[in-house]
Amino acid sequence: MYFKNIITMSKSQYAILRFAKYKGPEIGNIEAHNERSKEKYASNPDVDISRSKYNFHLIEPKQKYRAEAERQIKEAGCRTRSDSVRVVEALVTATPEFFQGKKKSEIKAYFQEALTFIQQNQDPKKIISAVVHMDEKTPHMHLAFVPLTADGRLSAKEIVGNKKKLSRWQDKFWEHMVKKYPDLERGESASQTGRDHIPPRLFKEAVHLNRMKEQIMAMMADTNLLNKKAKTEELEALLEKYVPAVEDMRTKLKKYSRAYSELREENARLEKRLSSATEHSLRKKMEIQQKLGELEELRRTVEELPPEILNGAKRAAVNKVRER
């Protein structure tokens, strides 16, 4: 049966980096949450205190957050006001699908890589604490640092202040993390309408969708009066998975329009150099052509679903309504 060969589409996995700014007394509140220093967390429904023993530090605080912030600010010779941002907190995580099936050592490696990224973009000496929480729904890291600029000014605005800077931080974070975790995607960005990297997962989904299309067309061709009822049930089940998956892929492909164009351009460049191609460039060309073939077939599929498939999906929807 064709239906047995259906491959479930994997959910998108996103790298997540967010920032929050803190001024005065609220710094003590985030410290209490991050360091699990208040017994009242026993009544916090988001925290499973039986799992708090699995939390771990990548950087342990030397003293209270506020005291360490004031020490660094004084050392830098900065003047402060009551409304000055003294601590910026980075929240690092990923969508739950990313962590599924991962060991603690693998989860730790993810956050260590994220810490490396932040240390490359912010003075490591300014980091107060980096703690990973394993006792809430999704593993995540709270990283607190003092927003001192390279020339010694206290300016959270300059470091993470506006939407453009925040978006750039998130772009760079994804670009860094995807090198080690290629299935990760960048979340929606206001500054980016294309992508310069197509995750391997997207190529796998392209192969799966193209196979599903072939299964549907073959099933339709194999339907006759004797097997119509059984084939119709199989077809409806397959269409229920296929049509929404195609619509989802249509949205995803729009994100990677730039990368798709660059892939085609690189293929054209290799084509021109074919006469002097090395074994390495020939392998690369074959790899690119395979990816392009899958993507181009998929683009044709999502741009215009075959009428037979659309009609089959409509019939399936009508039959479902009648059954209710």
- pLDDT, tens digit (0-9, with 9 covering 90-100), for 212-246: 888 877 877 777 777 777 777 787 787 788 777 77
Band (pLDDT 50/70/90 cuts) for residue 195 is very low
Burial of 317 (0-12, 13-18, 19+ CB in 10 A): middle
User: What proportions of the chain, in percent to the nearest 5, are helix, strand and coil?
Assistant: 60, 10, 25
Determine the pLDDT at residue 14. 86
Determine the pLDDT at residue 124. 94
Determine the pLDDT at residue 255. 66
Q: CA separation (Å) from 228 to 3, 92, 215, 307, 321?
A: 15, 53, 16, 19, 20
The mean pLDDT value for 161-171 works out to: 84
Determine the pLDDT at residue 307. 60
Q: Residue 102 pLDDT > 70, yes or no?
A: yes
Among all chains, which residue has been given the structure tokens 């967390």? Answer: 41
Is the whole model's pTM more than 0.75, yes or no? Answer: no
Percent of the chain with pLDDT over 70: 66
Burial of 267 (0-12, 13-18, 19+ CB in 10 A): middle
For the stretch 107-124, what's the b/e string if a residue is b when 16 or more beta carbons lie within 10 angstroms of its beta carbon? bbebbeebbebbbeebee
Q: CA separation (Å) from 32 to 17, 66, 103, 111, 162?
A: 21, 12, 27, 21, 28
Determine the pLDDT at residue 80. 84
Give the separation between CA 84 and CA 145, rounded to whole angstroms.
Answer: 14
The mean pLDDT value for 151-177 works out to: 88
Give the separation between CA 256 and CA 302, rounded to whole angstroms.
Answer: 14
Determine the pLDDT at residue 309. 60
**DSSP state for residue 49 in the 8-state scheme:** G
For the stretch 176-213, what's the b/e string if a residue is b when 16 or more beta carbons lie within 10 angstroms of its beta carbon? bbbeebeebbbeeeeeeeebebbbebbeebbbbbbebb
Determine the pLDDT at residue 29. 86
Q: Per residue in 104-163, pLDDT tens?
A: 999 999 999 999 999 999 999 999 999 999 988 899 999 999 999 989 899 999 998 777
Determine the pLDDT at residue 44. 61
Q: Residue 287 pLDDT > 80, yes or no?
A: no
Determine the pLDDT at residue 1. 36
Give the separation between CA 23 and CA 187, rounded to whole angstroms.
Answer: 28
Q: Per residue in 1-55, pLDDT tens?
A: 333 343 344 567 889 999 999 988 889 888 988 988 865 555 466 788 888 899 9
Per the prediction, the chain carries an average pLDDT of: 78
Give the separation between CA 315 and CA 324, rounded to whole angstroms.
Answer: 15
* 250 compared with 197, residue with greater pLDDT: 250
Determine the pLDDT at residue 109. 97
Report the SS3 class of residue 94: strand
Closest by CA to 147, choosing from 35, 18, 29, 22, is 22
Residue-range domain boundaries for the chain: 13-186, 196-323
Determine the pLDDT at residue 235. 77
Band (pLDDT 50/70/90 cuts) for residue 209 is confident
Q: Residue 278 pLDDT > 90, yes or no?
A: no
Strand partners, 127: 145
The mean pLDDT value for 270-276 works out to: 58
What are the E-state strand segments in the chain?
13-22, 56-59, 87-94, 127-133, 140-145, 184-186
| DSSP conformation letters of 113-159 | HHHHHHHHHS-GGGEEEEEEE-SSSS-EEEEEE--B-TTS-B-HHHH
* 157 compared with 292, residue with greater pLDDT: 157
Give the separation between CA 66 and CA 73, rounded to whole angstroms.
Answer: 10
Percent of the chain with pLDDT over 90: 31
- What's the token pair of residue 49? 């205190």
Q: Per residue in 45-87, pLDDT tens?
A: 678 888 889 999 999 999 999 999 999 999 999 988 888 999 9
Q: What is the arrangement of strands in the sheet containing 184-186, beginning at the earlier edge strand? A: 56-59, 127-133, 140-145, 87-94, 13-22, 184-186
CATH of 13-186 among 3.40.720.10, 3.30.930.30, 3.40.50.2000, 3.50.50.60: 3.30.930.30
